[in-house]
């Protein structure tokens, strides 16, 4: 059974509200389809937006970075943060410049990030991150050692306060533009991201087969 999003004053979509989605499953789908998100926060020196990988486990997003990074320490200090993921599905060509647009899926999560200190949850968070980026790799990789764990900070961000917007379909047109003499075409040019052929590390023994967990993604 699907669970609805619970909008707050911060997460309520007001601009183009018809594109808002209210089902939490739509939020999960956008987050699960993306690979890179952007973490925004305000530092004493000014606003900062960081591109970063992430992973989702239920209603928790896990993020990570260098434990020595001032920006990550600030994000875990209790200040409000915002995390966004955007997927572009196509460029919308219209008869007017104003109505050119993008078909897209986007998610915005707001809240307070929590520094993960429990050793078991830290490893779990890193496993979630690894599995989101490269499914099946956690069980086929060396676990982080003590030095690597000390150099890595893991943050957890709850998905309680979030919004989703999705645009699909052709351009919205003004009737006055339908016969405009300069408009030679209107519609959507789809954009798709596809995996290429795996490129083996040159240090692998010759003839090492590509595991199915990698080749199947292509």
Nearest to 26 by CA among 9, 48, 5: 5
Q: What is the pLDDT of residue 13?
A: 64
Tens of pLDDT along the chain (218 residues) come to 567 777 776 666 666 667 678 889 999 999 999 999 999 999 989 999 999 999 999 999 999 999 998 888 898 888 999 999 999 999 999 999 899 999 999 999 999 999 999 999 999 999 999 999 999 999 999 999 999 999 999 999 999 999 999 999 999 877 776 777 777 899 999 999 999 999 999 999 999 999 999 999 87
Could you tell me which residues come within 8 angstroms of residue 98 by beta carbon, excluding any fewer than 6 positions away?
A: none
Please, which contacts does 69-76 make with residues 24 or more away whose CB atoms are closer than 8 Å? 69/153, 70/43, 71/41, 71/43, 72/153, 72/155, 73/153, 74/41, 74/43, 75/39, 75/41, 75/113, 75/155, 76/113, 76/114, 76/115, 76/153, 76/155
Q: What is the pLDDT of residue 195?
A: 95
**Separation between Cα atoms, residue 131 and residue 138, nearest integer Å:** 6
Contact between 185 and 93 (Cβ < 8 Å): yes
Tokens of 129: 């991150």
Q: What is the pLDDT of residue 179?
A: 76
Indicate the SS3 state at residue 196.
Answer: coil
**Separation between Cα atoms, residue 48 and residue 39, nearest integer Å:** 8
Q: Of all helices (H) and strands (E), which one includes residue 129?
A: helix 119-133
Residue pointed to by tokens 């239920």 = 58
List domains and CATH numbers for the chain. 17-216 (2.30.110.10)
Q: What is the pLDDT of residue 4?
A: 73
What single DSSP character describes residue 146?
Answer: H
Q: What is the pLDDT of residue 12?
A: 67
């Amino acid at each position: 059974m699907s669970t609805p999003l619970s909008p707050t004053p911060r997460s309520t979509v007001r601009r183009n509200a018809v594109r808002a989605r209210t089902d939490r499953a739509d939020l999960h789908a956008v987050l699960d389809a993306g690979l890179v998100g952007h973490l925004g926060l305000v530092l004493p020196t000014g606003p900062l937006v960081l591109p970063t990988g992430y992973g989702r486990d239920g209603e928790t997003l896990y993020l990570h970075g260098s434990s020595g990074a001032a920006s990550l320490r600030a994000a875990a200090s209790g200040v409000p943060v915002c995390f966004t993921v955007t997927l572009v599905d196509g460029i919308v060509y219209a008869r007017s410049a104003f109505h050119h647009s993008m078909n897209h899926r986007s998610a915005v999560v707001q809240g307070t990030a929590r520094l993960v200190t429990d050793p078991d949850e830290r490893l779990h968070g890193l496993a979630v991150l690894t599995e989101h980026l490269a499914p099946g790799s956690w069980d086929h990789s060396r676990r982080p050692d003590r030095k690597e764990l000390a150099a890595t900070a893991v943050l957890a961000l709850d998905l309680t306060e979030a919004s989703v917007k999705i645009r699909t379909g052709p351009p919205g047109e003004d009737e006055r533009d339908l016969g405009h003499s300069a408009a030679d075409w209107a519609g959507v040019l789809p954009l798709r991201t596809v995996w290429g052929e795996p490129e083996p590390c040159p240090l692998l023994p010759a003839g090492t087969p590509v595991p199915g967990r990698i080749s199947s993604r292509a």
